[in-house]
Structures are given as C-alpha cells and as structure tokens.
Structure 1
Amino acid sequence: MFGDTCTVWGGIPSISVLEDSMNDLTFKRFVEEKFENLGRGDHLILSVADTVPPAAKFDRILYLKKKAEEFGPVTP
C-alpha cells in the first residue's frame, strides 16, 4: 500500500527479551536473522512488539540498539 514510502515493522516478539524464553545465543541468532531479512533500512521502525516486559533482560535491549545502529541511522 505504501510502496517505498513507509515500512512498518515491530519485528521483535516481547517474549524474546525474556531470559527464560531462549538462551542468549538463540536470541542473537534470531535478531541477526531478522536484520538479514529486512532489506533496506531507510524506513525501518524497529520495536519490541506490544511492550517490553518488566522482566526483560536489559542486555538484550542493548543488543537490539547496537544492531539497529549498525543497520542504519537512528532517529530519536
């Protein structure tokens, strides 16, 4: 519908930032696969689906930030 003008992407299931859902290696592989499949990132809106759970492993949030910054420019 939007063509090249907009990409809407949540992309990261909220459960994936919980330590009990998967180990760190599996999480990193999951995130890397997502970024590999994104294609262009000039209209990327990356978010943890729904909300970040209170028990989220903060290191995983920081890893998402790092990968997003490596992928392309970040606008606050």
Structure 2
Amino acid sequence: MKNIFLAGAFLWCGLLLAQNSLVVPPQNIRTAFENQYPKKKAVWDIEYSGKSDDIIFEAQFNETAKNSSFCQI
C-alpha cells in the first residue's frame, strides 16, 4: 500500500513540474524583433491560438519613457 501511495506521489509531482516549463521564442523571431526595434529590451509572453497548437509570441517594450508598445509575432 505504501508503494502505491509513493508511486502516486511521484506521478503527481512529475505532472506538476511539467506545468512550469519555459517556452522561449526561437532565434529567428528574436533576431527579427531586434532588427525592427534595435536597442529595445522586450518582455516576451506566449499565447496559444484557438483550436490549433500554434504558439504566438508577444513582445512588450517601452517605445519612449511615457509610451508602451506591443508587438505580436
């Protein structure tokens, strides 16, 4: 009985750890952003499209000191 609880605990922890995976934009997306907006530091966010498994990367950055911009790639 202890082995069943132990196996269940390991399975549960494995599933929880898999939820915190980090998805970073590919190098070609980062270079395209850097070419279009040089000297801008972007904060990347991901969004999943409706019915398919496509990932949309979004970059948020400050265009000027007062304005904030949004770029969706």
Q: Does the alignment reach a TM-score above 0.5?
A: no
With the length of structure 2 as denominator, give the TM-score of the two structures: 0.28
With the length of structure 1 as denominator, give the TM-score of the two structures: 0.27
- Which structure shows the higher strand fraction? 2
Between 1 and 2, higher relative CO (CA 8 Å, sep ≥ 6) is seen in: 1
Query: Looking at CA atoms only, which structure, 1 or 2, has the larger radius of gyration?
Result: 2
